[in-house]
Amino acid sequence: MEIRTQQFRALAGRAILDERLQANLARLGVRFKTLRDLAFAQLSDPEGLRDQAKAVKERSMANLPYLLETLEGRVQEAGGYVHWARTAQHARAIIGGLAKRHSVRSAVKGKSMVTEEIGLNDHLAGLGVDVWETDLGEFIIQLAGEPPSHIIAPAIHKNKEEIAELFASRLGVPKAESPEGLTEIAREALRRRFLAADMGITGANMAVAETGSIVLLENEGNIRLSTTVPRIHVVLMGIEKVIPTLEDMAVLLAVLPRSATGQKLSSYVSILTGPRREGEEDGPEEFHLVILDNGRSRIMADPHRRETLHCIRCGACLNVCPVYRKIGGHSYGWVYSGPIGSVLTPQLVTGHAAWMLPFATTLCGACAEVCPVKIDLPRLLLTMRWRLMEDPNWDGAVPISHRIPISLFGWLAAHPRVYFAAATAMRAAQRVLAPGGRWRLSPPPLAAWGRKRHIPVLVRPFSRRWSRIEPTAPES
Ligand code: SF4
């Protein structure tokens, strides 16, 4: 998938002016948030449950190497194969190699952000594999040739009229009037793909080390079909998805659907362990687990950024983020959007200019309030700002043109005498250049900018005024 993070400002500007997008975002953001709040309000101890979920992720991260090795062993004992992929390119090569070795002509996929991250569809298409997304939202954006705009609702930016037009033009069907009609069209188009597919590809919501099981949540039944009908099942997961036990899985199952869609539990929860066994009728002949690093161990190695890997991809932080709710997911320029995208993307796509993302936030804290695993997203956003500012060796750090003015202000703020002297000089300059806040003179390159703008009138700093105020006795 093309990385367009450097176009963030332009993409966001365009999104804000897109009335249809604004209406879609406003409607669906409120709906998801309301459902999430209702689902948590029904719990006797929602905070206690979130604490438990956080503890599961902390324990998993603390024992990551051991858990991954245990997982590998259990998967192999169950008859599956485990592959380790250091990079996106490596993961593509592994899955492409499997497709070639097994003469795979067509594949069906369950929704998976990590396959978007490595650009798997294009790679397989280049090898001649006919790849079909089977989640309804992913199917829609695949037909539209667009990336996902939300972690759990990839087509959230489209309304039903747009989808009806898309189906009519791409599938050659009459325009459907209702959501039911649209679903029926997708079902009709996909059913034969499931039956014809040689390979099923999914991500993993979790991987349980003690049993070697992959846990998948869904509401449409498409993952059940993708994992049981084709003769090969390939799972791609990031290293951070492993958890120790089935008991831990139960804790995360209690918070994940509630946070994502406001459901007590997703309609289908699949716990898959290895390929089909002797005597079983369903399931793949071969099961392959591809465990991806792609920069995650670098994040893991930094205690200040490690918490990023606690994310269970519920999407709740997107639904409450005032920035995401105005600019939508495509503005972020890559796979992950919203607060978690602003933290994760600059760490994964080093070398690309993604530095703007952590700065494009209000730090209001709404994301941290809803995160089911209590990730301190505002702290992570500040950490990333600091990293991108202070570490010039960071591949994709804040460019020097932006770093100089910010550093200058930082230095001034740390030296009160110089700051007040500069403020006095600026007030004097303003009386000449922009009396009353209206620019009288604005030299190039500020000429065009200055003609159209008022600037706030600079007044004596509050601390200076305060020190001169005579205390008055309280009235009796
Ligand atoms: S950061 Fe938290 S709220 Fe956001 S997607 Fe991840 S788990 Fe969900």
Residues 234-274 pLDDT 10s: 999 999 999 999 999 999 999 999 999 999 999 999 999 99
Determine the pLDDT at residue 476: 60
315 lines ligand 1 (CB under 6 A): yes
340 lines ligand 1 (CB under 6 A): yes
In angstroms, rounded to a whole number, what is the distance separating the alpha carbons of residues 329 and 113?
13
Q: Answer yes or no: is pLDDT of 224 > 70.
A: yes
- Three state DSSP letters for 91-146: HHHHHHHHHHHCCCCEEEECCCHHHHHCCHHHHHHHCCCEEEECCHHHHHHHHHCC
Nearest-atom number in ligand 1 for the CA of 259 is 8
In angstroms, rounded to a whole number, what is the distance separating the alpha carbons of residues 121 and 125?
6
Over residues 67-110, the pLDDT tens digits come to 999 999 999 999 999 999 999 999 999 999 999 999 999 999 99
Average pLDDT estimate for 205-228: 97
Ligand 1 probe mutation, 314, 323, 344, most atoms within 8 A of CB: 314
310 lines ligand 1 (CB under 6 A): no
Which is it for strands 106-109 and 199-202: parallel, antiparallel or unpaired?
A: parallel
152 lines ligand 1 (CB under 6 A): no
Phi, psi dihedrals of residue 271, rounded to the nearest 5°: -115, 105
371 lines ligand 1 (CB under 6 A): yes
Determine the pLDDT at residue 463: 75
Over residues 419-432, the pLDDT tens digits come to 889 888 988 888 88
Closest CA to 451 of 466, 469, 433: 433
Which of 39-43, 404-408, 450-454 bottoms out in mean pLDDT, i.e. has the lowest?
450-454
The overall average pLDDT reported for the chain is 92
Determine the pLDDT at residue 438: 74
Distances (CA, A) of 30 to 37, 255, 327: 11, 19, 15
Determine the pLDDT at residue 136: 95
* Exposed/middle/buried for residue 246 (C-beta within 10 Å: 0-12, 13-18, 19+): middle
341 lines ligand 1 (CB under 6 A): no
